[in-house]
Chain A
Amino acid sequence: MIAVVLNDVLNIDETPVLQALQEAGDKLDGTEGEAVLDFSSVRRIDPSTLLALQAFAGTADKKAVKVVLRGVNIDVYKVLKLMKLTPRFSFVN
């Protein structure tokens, strides 16, 4: 059951993806239910972003917040799959 969605769905733009993830991580305090990260404008993902996403998932786990990734394109999805990260997230279009 979704108790709270993150205030604004965070658009993860390509360039400041790391920064956006860090900001999202900061907003997890006090969040319940679900955090939705919008990846629709992310074309590719780099190692530092992968690490940041993992860290974000870890933090969300601890706070029992479910992480939903929206609009992940298939190339990025495949990277997450190869890194065995997909079970940590839900995916929506």
Chain B
Amino acid sequence: MIVSEAVEERVQIPLAVETLSAERIAYLEGLVSQARTAAAVFSQFTQEDVDRIVKAMVLAGLKQAQYLARLAVEETRLGVMEDKVLKNMVATEFVYNYVKDKRTVGIIRELPERNLIEMAEPIGVLFSLTPITNPTSTVLFKCIMAIKTRNAVIFSPHPKAWHCCAEAVRIMYETAVQHGAPAGVFTCLDSPTLPDNAYLMKHKDVGLIDATGGPGVVKAAYSSGKPALGVGAGNTPVYLEKTADVNTAVVDIIVSKTFDNGTICASEQTVVIDDEIYDAVLKKFAELGAHLCNEKETRLLERTVIDPETGFMQPLAVGQKATDIARFAGLSVKPDTKLLIAPIHGVGREHPLSVEKLFPVLAVYRAKSVNEALRVCVDVNHAGGIGHTAVVFSRNEEVIRKFGEVINAGRIIVNSPGSVGALGAVYNDLVPTFSFGCGTGGGNSTTDNVNIFHYLNIKRLARRTQNHMWFRVPNQIYFNMNAVENLRQFPSLSTIIVTSPLLEQIGHVDILRRHICPKTRIHVQVIPDAEPEVKIIAQGVEALNFYKADQIIALGGGSVIDAAKIMKLKYESPEADLEYLAAPFLDLRKRVAQYPTEKTNRARLIAISTTSGTGSEVTPFAVLTDKASGRKVTLADYSLTPDVAIVDPQFVMSMPKGLTADTGIDCLTHALEAGVSNYASPYTDSSAMQAIRLVFKYLPIAYEHPSDEEARCMMHNAACIAAMAFSNASVGVNHALAHAFGARFGVAHGRANALMLPHVMAYNAAVPTKFMPSPYTKGYVAHKKYAAVADLLGLGGNTVDEKVKNLIQATEQLLDQLGFPRSIAELGISREDFERAVPELASIAFEDPSGRSNPRMPMMKELEELFWKAYEGRGVAKVDAALEPAHV
């Protein structure tokens, strides 16, 4: 903390602009105008231009380092000239070393892997306040930063360091302009006053205030309503832990605390020393030129250097030599004394020397334990030093990290001097600075060492990114009649067949037995329920464990296969929490719930579907019913995909007509929805189109002639192919509606899909009320894709609109052919019941993840309308507002 500034600021702060004369205002306006012009012109400069100018300025600063240091000490009467020379050199050479290779103009960073480019935008006019303690070095530092970033600066030096700062500004300015910088790029307020500062802080053309000064100035900056950089008060605690290298630590502390007579606000203030080494440390300090005060001397010192009324350090002591301070306090010390050390027994007003002291007086505290030491350091940190700096000397990594955790400081210096360490680039890799951000604890906007990047607005050019996609299906898929024979190529010691009672009764399980390796022990696990639930899964897992299964064959429809998938999951990862894994997600890649990855691969899962519909044999989904709550739990992860799929039509030959129709339309819906999905890709499109073609051609035949092997075979393949498509492209709002409606009114899934399908197609083909944000799709193409399907099916039509209409018509004809009810009303659901249910159904449908891949974002009201259209049904499916090609 710069106490002299703080003392002044505790006096009346006139902020009213009207205290400025018209003439003064004109003068200030002139400075701003000049700076604004310079900044505007500067914005045209290239990186090479600014780098050339910066280099010249740095060299000029280095040449004048001693001259400026001398001026600073003469004017401020603070500090040590030789140390100020070093500061000026750090402010030029070290800062230059940091900035020289940094891009600050135009493109400053390219991140091709992220399709991002960062570009620099200068701020414009900066209003910069500089302190009394580091006057010229701060000016040099800020001038270099400003030129490097193409900003103009109006300087307001501390009144008691005005001359040396103005001289530093002059040197920097003349050099800059000589090398091409625009005229007016730096100006220095003459005789700055608080009203001047207030005026400029609020000026509309000042882009940023950079206040390096006392708390009053920083507070004024942040209160101005303008973006600001500030600094905070320091009260640096130091923990000298018992494992520290005592010799190095003591020297480092002396180096730091006596540097420029302790005027750097990051310098050590209270050293907390472990009891075990306390005496040795003090002995070392004494050997190296410190005077250890006894209790009486400590009292004298307190009365001299700390203001008893405010509790803060006395301004007159700031930056004074130890011997002078001793003399003021009435202490008798050796003439070469560098540092006065005073023991304290606590922190707070009762212990005056526990506050910040910007002079060579150090408080020391004896700590009996690590805990006590950390506590005292926290106390010191909170006694006026939050966010600034702290130091730890230790070789115990745990202690060092704990210190870092508990202390609130932007700079936590380890095993090095505090003040010089905090400056950066001397003892460590911190960015070099003369402005220490202290974060929110210090009333600042950053804890950074302020640097060139705080003088820029960074712009980010973000190109549209094509995320990589995928096409994931089982390792092996065997299809066509008798594909089940391939079972014999899978060796197994113990196989569990998961199936339904009916399939076991009609002999399908026996077919499997014929093709499984003779040596395999086989157990049949029957799923009694159409909808697998938790209890059934648990029983299945028990069986898997009991028989030490290395193979699971799921023979059945979607429910059976889903059950087998979940059994395998729990068998391989018993700790897997299904509720957690079923957590909703928007993007599979970003999902929160993570499926187990370290699996033992205990059992191979072979899925053999006995319906031509769900395609569960190739999908990564599994649905479980929680009978207790009546909820369905949906799991979705590619790890659930079966290892092998067998698509053998012999298992579907006996499917009754109703089931054939239901599952067939489910298959068609899968394919159509995958086709227009926002996650569609050329890989899924080819599958979707093929499946649609097969359904339209073979489903009517399979329905009318159930023993037609070719039709059954093609439909069975279609179901699998459609599932491969939607496993990777997902489905859409049709399924969301069908799920909600089907669950509520107990309607089979395929039937529910059928009732919605024509209306959803019309809905998707129309101009959306709201487009679904989708990085994967360019433009709106659902209508064009439907038109492409119409072309594939040879339905005719000259325009997209006509083709879409033809497709909807063909779909309706198919539904009629398959004997589907064409309205919800036909199911016998009363209008009143339906009306009561619709709002909730719409809400459930909206929440359904299926809807998120729909090309058109379904609005709640639109979902209700779709339900009503399906209720009324026949002949209602019309495209309300067709998309003409020219619109897209």
- List the interface of chain A (C-beta within 8 A of B): 72-75, 77-78, 81, 86-87, 91, 93
Nearest Cβ on chain B to A87's Cβ, whole angstroms: 8
Q: A78 to B348, alpha carbons, bound, how many Å?
A: 16
Q: Which residue of B lies closest to A93 (CB)?
A: B369
B374 at the interface (CB under 8 A from A): yes
For A87, what are the chain B residues with a Cβ–Cβ distance below 8 Å?
A: 348
Q: Contact at B368–A75, with CB atoms within 8 Å?
A: no
B378 at the interface (CB under 8 A from A): yes
With A93-B368, A93-B369 as given contacts, are A74 and B379 in contact (CB-CB < 8 Å)? Answer: no
B371 at the interface (CB under 8 A from A): yes
Q: Contact at B378–A78, with CB atoms within 8 Å?
A: yes
Q: A40 to B508, alpha carbons, bound, how many Å?
A: 68
For A77, what are the chain B residues with a Cβ–Cβ distance below 8 Å?
A: 374-375, 378
Nearest Cβ on chain A to B311's Cβ, whole angstroms: 15
For B382, what are the chain A residues with a Cβ–Cβ distance below 8 Å?
A: 81
Q: Which residue of A lies closest to B382 (CB)?
A: A81
Q: A87 to B348, alpha carbons, bound, how many Å?
A: 10
B406 at the interface (CB under 8 A from A): yes
Q: A50 to B348, alpha carbons, bound, how many Å?
A: 23
Q: Which residue of B lies closest to A82 (CB)?
A: B382
Nearest Cβ on chain B to A93's Cβ, whole angstroms: 5
Q: Which residue of A lies closest to B367 (CB)?
A: A93
Q: Which residue of B lies closest to A92 (CB)?
A: B372
Q: Contact at B368–A74, with CB atoms within 8 Å?
A: no
B483-533 at interface with A (beta carbon < 8 Å): none
Q: A72 to B402, alpha carbons, bound, how many Å?
A: 15
For B379, what are the chain A residues with a Cβ–Cβ distance below 8 Å?
A: 81, 86
Nearest Cβ on chain A to B247's Cβ, whole angstroms: 28
Which of A73, A74, A81, A86 has the most C-beta atoms of chain B within 10 angstroms of its own C-beta?
A74
Q: Contact at A81–B371, with CB atoms within 8 Å?
A: no
For A75, what are the chain B residues with a Cβ–Cβ distance below 8 Å?
A: 406
- Main secondary structure on A side of the interface with B: helix
> Which 8 residue pairs are nearest across A and B when measured between Cβ atoms?
A74-B374, A74-B406, A93-B369, A77-B375, A78-B406, A93-B372, A81-B378, A74-B371
Which of B375, B378, B402, B406 has the most C-beta atoms of chain A within 10 angstroms of its own C-beta?
B375
For A81, what are the chain B residues with a Cβ–Cβ distance below 8 Å?
A: 378-379, 382
Q: Contact at B378–A74, with CB atoms within 8 Å?
A: yes
Q: List 21 A-B contacts (CB under 8 A).
A: A72-B371, A72-B375, A73-B371, A74-B371, A74-B374, A74-B375, A74-B378, A74-B402, A74-B406, A75-B406, A77-B374, A77-B378, A78-B378, A81-B378, A81-B379, A81-B382, A86-B379, A87-B348, A93-B369, A93-B371, A93-B372
For B368, what are the chain A residues with a Cβ–Cβ distance below 8 Å?
A: 93
Nearest Cβ on chain A to B701's Cβ, whole angstroms: 70
Which of B348, B369, B371 has the most C-beta atoms of chain A within 10 angstroms of its own C-beta?
B371
For A93, what are the chain B residues with a Cβ–Cβ distance below 8 Å?
A: 368-369, 371-372
Q: A78 to B376, alpha carbons, bound, how many Å?
A: 11
For B371, what are the chain A residues with a Cβ–Cβ distance below 8 Å?
A: 72-74, 93
Identify 10 new A-B residue pairs, CB closer than 8 A, beyond the known A78-B378, A87-B348, A91-B375.
A74-B375, A74-B406, A75-B406, A77-B374, A78-B406, A81-B378, A81-B382, A93-B368, A93-B369, A93-B371
For B378, what are the chain A residues with a Cβ–Cβ distance below 8 Å?
A: 74, 77-78, 81
Q: Beta-carbon contacts of B164-193 to A below 8 Å, as 1s and 0s?
A: 000000000000000000000000000000
Nearest Cβ on chain B to A61's Cβ, whole angstroms: 18
Nearest Cβ on chain A to B365's Cβ, whole angstroms: 14
Q: Which residue of A lies closest to B371 (CB)?
A: A74
Q: Which residue of A lies closest to B347 (CB)?
A: A86
B8-47 at interface with A (beta carbon < 8 Å): none
For B375, what are the chain A residues with a Cβ–Cβ distance below 8 Å?
A: 72, 74, 77, 91
B789-825 at interface with A (beta carbon < 8 Å): none
B364-419 at interface with A (beta carbon < 8 Å): 368-369, 371-372, 374-375, 378-379, 382, 402, 406
For A86, what are the chain B residues with a Cβ–Cβ distance below 8 Å?
A: 379
Nearest Cβ on chain B to A25's Cβ, whole angstroms: 25
For A78, what are the chain B residues with a Cβ–Cβ distance below 8 Å?
A: 378, 406
Q: A93 to B368, alpha carbons, bound, how many Å?
A: 8
For B374, what are the chain A residues with a Cβ–Cβ distance below 8 Å?
A: 74, 77
Q: A15 to B375, alpha carbons, bound, how many Å?
A: 24
Q: Which residue of A lies closest to B368 (CB)?
A: A93
Q: Which residue of B lies closest to A86 (CB)?
A: B379
For B402, what are the chain A residues with a Cβ–Cβ distance below 8 Å?
A: 74
Nearest Cβ on chain A to B377's Cβ, whole angstroms: 9
Q: Beta-carbon contacts of B313-353 to A below 8 Å, as 1s and 0s?
A: 00000000000000000000000000000000000100000
Nearest Cβ on chain B to A50's Cβ, whole angstroms: 17
Nearest Cβ on chain B to A20's Cβ, whole angstroms: 21
Q: Which residue of B lies closest to A75 (CB)?
A: B406
Q: A75 to B378, alpha carbons, bound, how many Å?
A: 10
Q: Which residue of A lies closest to B407 (CB)?
A: A78
Nearest Cβ on chain A to B59's Cβ, whole angstroms: 48
For B369, what are the chain A residues with a Cβ–Cβ distance below 8 Å?
A: 93
Nearest Cβ on chain A to B351's Cβ, whole angstroms: 13
Q: Which residue of B lies closest to A73 (CB)?
A: B371
Q: Which residue of B lies closest to A84 (CB)?
A: B382
For B348, what are the chain A residues with a Cβ–Cβ distance below 8 Å?
A: 87
Q: A75 to B348, alpha carbons, bound, how many Å?
A: 21
Nearest Cβ on chain A to B194's Cβ, whole angstroms: 32
For A73, what are the chain B residues with a Cβ–Cβ distance below 8 Å?
A: 371
Q: A91 to B368, alpha carbons, bound, how many Å?
A: 13
Q: Which residue of A lies closest to B370 (CB)?
A: A74
Q: Which residue of A lies closest to B377 (CB)?
A: A74
Q: Beta-carbon contacts of B264-292 to A below 8 Å, as 1s and 0s?
A: 00000000000000000000000000000
Q: A83 to B247, alpha carbons, bound, how many Å?
A: 38
Nearest Cβ on chain B to A71's Cβ, whole angstroms: 8
